[in-house]
Amino acid sequence: MEKNIQPIDPIAFSLGPIQVHWYGVIIGLGIALALWLAMREGERRGLPKDIFADLMLWAIPIAIISARLYYVIFQWDYYSQYPSEIIKIWNGGIAIHGALIGAVATAYFFAKSRNVSFWKLADIAAPSLIIGQAIGRWGNFMNQEAHGGEVSRAFLESLHLPEFIINQMYINGTYYHPTFLYESIWNLLGFILLMGLRRVNLGRGEIFLSYVIWYSIGRFFVEGMRTDSLMLTESLRIAQTISIVLIVVAIALWVFRRVKGYSKIRYLEKEN
């Protein structure tokens, strides 16, 4: 029996009656780094200096709302009984696929309004998206959520994990797979890959499509290990289904855009 293992306090600090949760702090840090990287690369690629800052003013709130709505819709049996819980996103419960739907849709209409190629914006933003996701998963760690099935302490120690991670995976008397960590590492590797692809000079849109494929492959396998998946049916996980659809759609778009010549402009070219 494990003794004296206390979880990390999910409250980072308090400002009077306001409690600031680690979940929000970490998500905020991920967004800040993502924005800085996108602004830096966007300026280097000849876009207006503040275009990504302007985009984020719209994309962040819409992505948060769509992420929460996505989660609430698929957990409606619970939230219909406790509607006051719907706004409490600091307790977790936002779905990254919902956030991506909101963010990509916002970026599409924003690009049209600024007369800039959506695919150019998406290519520049792709590494920012995946590093933001890699950081954001640590918010799940602080909340002791998005974990996998039961494991032994010996198994976690065999992964050579730091003690603080092992201890945080001890929840209600049981150790669990740190699936948040698996996905975070996968996303970090994806970030390295996408940064490298910037030197390959792929066709327009193909860095973003590479992001969709890479992230979806990792998410499919990690999701299969989780115990808190949103379910489409009793045996069909929503995130796995969407991951497969996204992989197929991304590959089809890649081929279609090449055949039609839509990707003939290369990433390193500076035309809009």
b/e map 226-243, b = 16+ CB within 10 Å? beebbeeeeeebbbbebb
261: left (phi over 0), alpha (psi -120 to 50) or beta: left
CB-based contact 33:132 (threshold 8 Å): yes
b/e map 141-152, b = 16+ CB within 10 Å? bbbbbbbbeebe
Residue 137 among known ligand-binding residues: yes
First to last CA, the chain: 62
CA distances for 178 relative to 61, 90, 127, 145, angstroms: 29, 20, 24, 9
C-alpha span between 154 and 145 (Å, rounded): 21
Q: Which residues pair with 20 in a beta bridge?
A: 13
Q: For 94, which DSSP code?
A: -
Which residue numbers belong to the known binding site?
A: 137
